[in-house]
Amino acid sequence: MAQDTLPERPTAAEPPARGRGPLAGLWRPGRARRAGGTGGTRGAVRARVPAMIVAGLLMWLAFPPLDLTPLAPAGVAVFTLALRGVRARTGAWLGFLGGAAFFLPVLTGIVKIGPDGWILLSLVQALYLAPLGAGIALVHRLRAWPLWTAGLWVAEELVRGHVPFGGFPWARLAFSQTSTPLTPYASLGGAPLVTFLTALLGGLLAYAALAAWNARATGARRPHLARVAAAAAGGALVVGGGLLIPVPTDGRTVTVAVIQGNVPRLGLDFLGQRKAVLDNHARRTHELAAQVRAGKVPRPELVVWPENASDLDPYTEPDARRTIDDAVRDVGVPVLVGALVDTPDGTKVENRGIVWDPRTGPGDYYVKRHPVPFGEYLPFRDVLTKLITRFERIPRDFAKGTRSGVMRLGPVTVGDVICFEVAYDKEVRDVAGGNILVVQTNNATWGKTSLPPQQIAMSRLRAVEHGRTILVAATSGVSAIVAPDGRMIARSREFVPDIQVARVPARTSRTLADRLGAKPEWTLAALAVLAAGVAGFSSRKNEGN
C-alpha cells in the first residue's frame, strides 16, 4: 500500500465503500492503484476531465478583474483531487487540460494582437502544467502530500518565469492574492511564498474533502473526521498567521504626482498619434502646474510619466524635446519621462525612463532590461518573418538594458521597472533599494481587458513584498499610487486623462523577502521536485516487484 496519511482502498477494518456521488470518480482508485501502481480505470479517468476544466475556471475567477480570491485555493483543491490515483503520464495530460482551462480565460486580453496569438500563448503556458500534473500524481503517494503539491506549484512557476526567452510569469497564484490574509507573507518570502501558501490551502482543502468522503463511505468516522479537523486547523493557522504579520508603512513622506495623459483612439496617422500622446502628457503636466499655482493641490517633489509618453526620440527630435522641456520647467520639479530612443548605431530602439530636470534637462536613465519577446524583439527573426508576415510590424528589435533602474529623482531614489517587468521577481528586487518603486507602462493596446487590472494586482503585491510605495504610471490606465501595505491611495479609470497627487512614505528599511532573495523559491521548488523524484522511484520499484 502506498505511503499516505489517508487510506487508498478498503481495508479489513473498513468495509468497501458503497457511497456514490458526483465526486466519487475523483479519488476512487483504479485497478492498477489497488495493485500498488498509479493507474486508473477509464471511467475514473473520464470523470477527471470535467473536474480539471472546473479547476482551471475556478482559478481564473480568482484573478482580476473578477477578484473572487477564495476560488484560487478551491481551484487548486479540485486540480489536486483530479490527479489522485492516476499514472504520472495521465497526470501530465490532465494537468495540461487544467492549464488550458485556466490560461485561455485569464489571458483573454492577448486577443487584441490576434486570436491566434492568444490561443498559442495560452496553450504554451498550459504546457507548463503538464509536468506539474505528473508530479502531483506522484507525490500523492507520499505522506504530507499537501506540502509537496504546494511546492510543485512553486517549481512550475519558477520554470515558467524563466524559460524560454526569460519566461512569462503572468497569472501566478500569488497574483490572485494581493488583498487577502495571505498578502503579508510576501514581505517574508516574496511572491513564491504566497503561491506556496495559496496552493497549500488548496491541498489542505483537498485533504479535508477526501477525509470527509472516506468518513461517509467507510463508516469509520472518527479517524477521518480527525483528519478533517487537522486540515482545518492547518488552514486556519496559515490564514491567521498572515493577519499577524506586521506590514510597516512608516518613513519620511514626500509628495508625488502621476500623470496619465491618455491616447487618441482614432483619426490620426502613426506620426500624428505619437505626437498627440506626447502632447497629452505635456498638457496634463501644465495643468498640474496650474493647479499648484492656484493652491488646489500641493506642489509635488517629483512627477512620473508613463512608458511611451514620448515615442518621438527627444534627443534627436527638437519639437519633442521642446515640448518636454516646457512642461517640466512649468511644473518645476524632476519628471521621470518614458521615451523611445534610437541606439547610437540606429539598429535598435531603447525603451527608457529618463530623469528630466527642469534646469539641466535629460540626465540619468533606465533602459528596460526585459523586452517582450515577439512584441519588442523577435527571436529567430530571419526565419519567422518569412513564415508570419505580421512580424514585419517589428522592424527593429528593442535593446536590452544592462543595469537596474535605481536613480535619483528629486529628493528620493526611485527604482524603475517598465511594463511587464513588474511580473519578474528579480527585476523588481534589483530596484527595491530605491525609496519608492515606479512602474512605467503603456497599456493602450490592452485597454478594457483583464491585463491592466492584473498588472495593478502585481504592483500591490510588490508594494508589500518590498515595503515600498509604488507609483504606476500608464498612458491610458490603469495608473495608481499604492501604499507600502498594498492599499490603493489613488486609481485612475481607463482612457481618460488623470492627475494623481499624494503624500506617501519614502522608505529605506528592507523586508525579509529582500534579504532572502530567491532562496525561498529555490528551496521550496527543490524539496518538492525531490519528493516527486522519490515517489517516482518508489513507484517504479513497486511496479518492478
Tens of pLDDT, residues 71-95: 999 999 999 999 999 999 999 999 9
Rounded to 5 degrees, what angle do the CA atoms 294, 297, 298 make? Answer: 105
Per the CB < 8 A criterion, the answer to whether 191 and 171 are in contact is no
Residue pointed to by grid coordinates 519588442: 376
Determine what percent of the chain is predicted with pLDDT higher than 70.
Answer: 90
Beta bridge mates, 472: 439, 480
pTM for the structure as a whole: 0.91
Of 34-48, 211-225, 411-425, the least confident: 34-48
Residue pointed to by grid coordinates 496617422: 269
- Is the pLDDT at 111 greater than 70? The verdict is yes
Q: Using CB atoms within 10 Å of the CB of residue 526, give its burial: 0 to 12 exposed, 13 to 18 middle, 19+ buried.
A: middle
CA trace torsion 514, 161, 413, 348 (10° rounding): 150
268/66: higher pLDDT:
66
Q: Using CB atoms within 10 Å of the CB of residue 43, give its burial: 0 to 12 exposed, 13 to 18 middle, 19+ buried.
A: exposed
Query: Rounded to an integer, what distance in angstroms lies between the CA atom of residue 38 and that of residue 536?
Result: 10
Per the CB < 8 A criterion, the answer to whether 414 and 437 are in contact is yes
Report the pLDDT value the prediction gives residue 155, as an integer from 0 to 100.
98
Q: CA 297, 299, 302, 303 torsion: positive or negative?
A: positive
* Tally: H helices and E strands in the chain: 17, 12
Question: Which of 8, 156, 350, 419 does the annotation list as catalytic?
Answer: 419
**Stretch 182-209: mean pLDDT:** 98
Active site residue 392: no
Question: Which of 307, 317, 376, 427 does the annotation list as catalytic?
Answer: 307
Per the CB < 8 A criterion, the answer to whether 306 and 475 are in contact is yes
Report the pLDDT value the prediction gives residue 414, as an integer from 0 to 100.
98
Q: Using CB atoms within 10 Å of the CB of residue 480, give its burial: 0 to 12 exposed, 13 to 18 middle, 19+ buried.
A: buried
Per the CB < 8 A criterion, the answer to whether 454 and 177 are in contact is no
HSE-CB at 11 with a 13 A cutoff on CA atoms is: 7
CA neighbor of 331 nearest in space, from 360, 299, 295: 299
Active site residue 14: no
Q: Are strands 302-304 and 252-260 parallel, antiparallel or unpaired?
A: parallel
236/16: higher pLDDT:
236
Q: Are strands 436-441 and 469-474 parallel, antiparallel or unpaired?
A: parallel
Where residue 544 falls among pLDDT bands split at 50, 70, 90? low
Query: Rounded to an integer, what distance in angstroms lies between the CA atom of residue 400 and that of residue 379?
Result: 13
- Does the N-terminal peptide bond of residue 431 adopt cis geometry, omega within 30 degrees of 0? no
Query: Rounded to an integer, what distance in angstroms lies between the CA atom of residue 150 and that of residue 382?
Result: 42
Question: Which of 156, 317, 368, 376 does the annotation list as catalytic?
Answer: 368
Active site residue 307: yes
Q: CA 436, 441, 447, 453 torsion: positive or negative?
A: negative
pLDDT in tens, 512-523: 999 999 999 999
Query: Rounded to an integer, what distance in angstroms lies between the CA atom of residue 452 and that of residue 443?
Result: 7
- Does the N-terminal peptide bond of residue 248 adopt cis geometry, omega within 30 degrees of 0? no
Report the pLDDT value the prediction gives residue 545, as an integer from 0 to 100.
57
Per the CB < 8 A criterion, the answer to whether 99 and 130 are in contact is yes
**Stretch 182-200: mean pLDDT:** 98
**Stretch 233-260: mean pLDDT:** 95
Beta bridge mates, 310: 339
Query: Rounded to an integer, what distance in angstroms lies between the CA atom of residue 108 and that of residue 121?
Result: 10
Residue 506: how many other CB atoms lie within 10 Å: 21
Of 70-79, 244-253, 498-507, 520-529, the least confident: 244-253
Helix or strand holding residue 91 (H, E) = helix 88-106
Helix or strand holding residue 337 (H, E) = strand 335-342
Report the pLDDT value the prediction gives residue 222, as an integer from 0 to 100.
86
- Is the pLDDT at 373 greater than 60? The verdict is yes
Q: Are strands 349-357 and 335-342 parallel, antiparallel or unpaired?
A: antiparallel
Of 15-24, 193-202, 246-255, 409-418, the least confident: 15-24
pLDDT in tens, 466-491: 999 999 999 999 999 999 999 999 99
CA neighbor of 441 nearest in space, from 490, 380, 372: 372
Where residue 11 falls among pLDDT bands split at 50, 70, 90? very low
DSSP label of 420: G
What's phi and psi for 486, nearest 5 deg? 90, -5
- Is the pLDDT at 271 greater than 70? The verdict is no
